[in-house]
Amino acid sequence: MNLWRKPLDLQDIKVARGEIHIIKDLCKGCGFCVEYCPKDVLEISEEFNTKGYHPPYIKNPDECVECHLCEMLCPEFAIYVTLKEDNNVVKSASEEGGQ
Amino acid sequence: METLKTKKMKEVHPMEDVLRMNRIPHIWCPGCGIGLAVTAFAAALEKAKIDLNKVAIVSGIGCTGRVAGYIKLDSFHTTHGRAIAFATGIKVANPDLKVVVFSGDGDLISIGGNHFIHAARRNIDMLVVCVNNFIYAMTGGQVAPTTPLAAYATTCPFGSVEPPINIPYLADSSGAVYVARWTTLHIRRLTNSFIEALDKKGFSVVEVISPCPQYYSRINRLGDGLDMMKFYHDNTEIRHGEDTKNLDIGFQGKIIMGKFIDRERPSYTERFD
Ligand SMILES: Cc1ncc(C[n+]2csc(CCOP(=O)(O)OP(=O)(O)O)c2C)c(N)n1
Ligand code: SF4
Ligand code: SF4
Ligand code: SF4
Ligand SMILES: [Mg+2]
């Protein structure tokens, strides 16, 4: 038996989707954005930036819910997020990130 | 040739209205928390829709003392320990300005401790942001009046034997009207405290517990910035309204955070009206 009611408007629920911008050469590889992204979107790359640090890369671009936590927790102002234009991915629930 | 500066100018961070992006990358080490205190402050200015022409920011000397130079406001990088004295002059001459002091624990509480006490006593209308990394970072990790008992510093190779100052208690007992403490991990709550404190008339203090991986963490073998952030996650507790007497911080002990004081007292410039 299914105890949960399926919302009638499930197909209309829109979850915000974010587009992540990484200014690689500002990054100092601290890993805060990777650790605290609630959706596990980011990962440290193997690549070196011009200062010799490993910036993050976007591992799961479709999972980003535009919570801006990575942007808030970057001490280098090296990552920010904008709302994706085609913002119509349908998902039943989203998790709010944040401390 | 494409230099680091021309390259990075192509992508523009949304905080460029508040930051001097041409001076960034900043000097702070990887994993240092000062940049997070700046982000929270910039976010607070933006969220509170404060007219940037009506805010002045003053720093003393130290790693945190660099903050004023990175924020695109009327900025003053003053002498060691004297940020509050400069800020007092700015406020008294221009009572319409919002005045913010952004500096380190050593600058504000050690050499500048007397200014701190008397500005609180007189209730001079300013926001003081004290980035507490438990050490004199810029000069090489010497013991500070905030260094927890038994913690190592370059001048305490056997561990500090000095009981540290409890900053919220000092602010409270000297007369501050708003006192809060957060860590750099609790950045949204920190931002909200900045918004509240910016709106408050009187001497407001927000203490920001912040990682210094280069000096404090290294000599105490506490890992990197991320390890400190994880430590904050596991060892903090929010207790709004807690008696400030109970806010001592022991070495790697629990950190009580929250808003402790929010009261009304006529501010210094209001007494002239
Ligand atoms: C009159 C004077 N005394 C000493 C110094 C050396 N000095 C520069 S920064 C500093 C301590 C800074 O500590 P803090 O305010 O905690 O800043 P942090 O670097 O930790 O952010 C000291 C002692 C100085 N510049 N001027
Ligand atoms: S905006 Fe949120 S979900 Fe998207 S990458 Fe940043 S932290 Fe992750
Ligand atoms: S938080 Fe910023 S500096 Fe740290 S790894 Fe992520 S992008 Fe780089
Ligand atoms: S020495 Fe410490 S406080 Fe100074 S920039 Fe480096 S990590 Fe930050
Ligand atoms: Mg310090």
Per-residue pLDDT reduced to its tens digit, B53-110: 999 999 999 999 999 999 999 999 999 999 999 999 999 999 999 999 999 999 999 9
B179 falls within a domain: yes
pLDDT band at A89 (very low <50, low <70, confident <90, very high): low
Instruction: Using alpha carbons only, give the angle B62, B196, B27 rounded to the nearest 5 degrees.
Output: 25
Extract the runs of DSSP E, i.e. beta strands, from B146-249: 178-183, 203-209, 236-238
What integer pLDDT is reported at residue B80 of this predicted model? 98
Q: Which atom of ligand 3 is nearest to the CA of A77?
A: 2
| Residue A56 scores a pLDDT above 80 | yes
Give the residues of chain B that fall short of pLDDT 70: 1-10
* Mutate which: A22, A26, A67, vs B, most B CBs within 10 A: A26
Buried b (16+ CB within 10 A) or exposed e, B139-176: eebbbbbbbbeebbbeebeeebeeebbbbbbbbbebbb
Would you say residue B19 lies in a domain? Answer: no
- Please state the domain extents for chain A: 18-82
pLDDT of residue A87: 59
Q: Is the shortest distance between the CB of B219 and ligand 4 below 6 Å?
A: no
Our answer on whether the CB atom of B215 is closer than 6 Å to any ligand 4 atom is: yes
**Residue B104 CA: which ligand 1 atom is closest?**
15
Residue A2 contacts B, CB cutoff 8 Å: no
Instruction: Kindly report, residue by residue over A34-46, the tens digit of the pLDDT.
Output: 999 999 999 999 9
Residue B46 included in any domain: yes
Tokens of B268: 């210094």
List phi, psi (to 5°) of B238.
Answer: -90, 125
pLDDT for residue A90: 54
Q: What confidence category does residue A7 fall into, taking pLDDT thresholds of 50, 70 and 90?
A: low
Type of residue at B213: P
Residue of A19, A23, A34, A66 to mutate when probing chain B, most B C-beta within 10 A: A23
For residue B202, the distance in angstroms to the closest alpha carbon of chain A comes to: 28
Contacts B238 to A, Cβ<8 Å: none
Residue whose tokens read 């100092």: A28
Exposed/middle/buried for B119, CB within 10 Å: 0-12, 13-18, 19+? Answer: buried
Chain A with chain B: Cβ pairs closer than 8 A: 81
* CB contact (8 A) between residue B35 and residue A75: yes
H or E stretch at B101? strand B98-104
Terminal CA-to-CA distance of chain B, rounded, Å?
59
Q: pLDDT: is A86 or A57 the higher one? A: A57
Evaluate if residue A1 carries a pLDDT over 90: no
| pLDDT number for residue A94 | 45
In a domain, B9, yes or no: no
Per-position b or e across A30-40, b if 16+ CB within 10 A of its CB: bbbbbebbebe
Query: With a CB-CB cutoff of 8 Å, which residues 34-63 of chain A face chain B?
Result: 35-36, 50-51, 53
The neighbour count for residue B57, using CB atoms within 10 Å, is 27
Query: Which neighbouring-strand residues pair with B104?
Result: B131
Average pLDDT over residues A58-63: 96
CATH number of the domain at B207, please: 3.40.50.970
How many structural domains comprise chain B?
Answer: 1
Across the interface, which of A35, A73, A98 has its CB nearest the CB of B36? Answer: A73
Residue A98 confidence (pLDDT) above 90: no
Q: Which residue has the tokens 């720093």?
A: B59
What ipTM, to 2 d.p.?
Answer: 0.93
Residue B5 covered by a domain: no
Question: Residue A2: which pLDDT band, with cuts at 50, 70 and 90?
Answer: low
The counts of H helices and E strands in chain B are 10, 8
Expressed as residue numbers, the domain containing B48 is 28-266
Non-local (6+) Cβ contacts of B20 within 8 A are B69, B70, B71, B72
Residue B189 CA: distances (Å) to CA of A98, B10, B162, B163, B185? 10, 32, 31, 29, 9
* The pair of three-digit structure tokens given for residue B237, joined into one six-digit string: 């507790």
What lies within 8 Å, CB to CB, of B189 at 6+ separation is A99, B182, B238, B257
Residues of A in contact with B33 (CB under 8 A): 75
Is the C-beta atom of B249 inside 6 A of ligand 4? Answer: no
CB contact under 8 A, B13 and A98: no
Ligand nearest, relative to CA of residue A34:
3
CB B37, CB B208: distance < 8 Å: yes
- Whether B35 and B67 have beta carbons less than 8 Å apart is answered as no
B31·A23 Cβ contact <8 A: no
The arithmetic mean of pLDDT across residues A26-39, rounded, is 98
Residues B135, B142: Cα–Cα separation, whole Å: 6
Q: Which of B34, B38, B139, B147 to mutate to test the pocket of ligand 1 (most atoms within 8 A of CB)?
A: B139
Contact in structure between B266 and B249 (CB atoms under 8 Å): no
Residues of A in contact with B40 (CB under 8 A): 72
What is the architecture, at CATH level 2, of domain A18-82?
A: 2-Layer Sandwich (3.30)
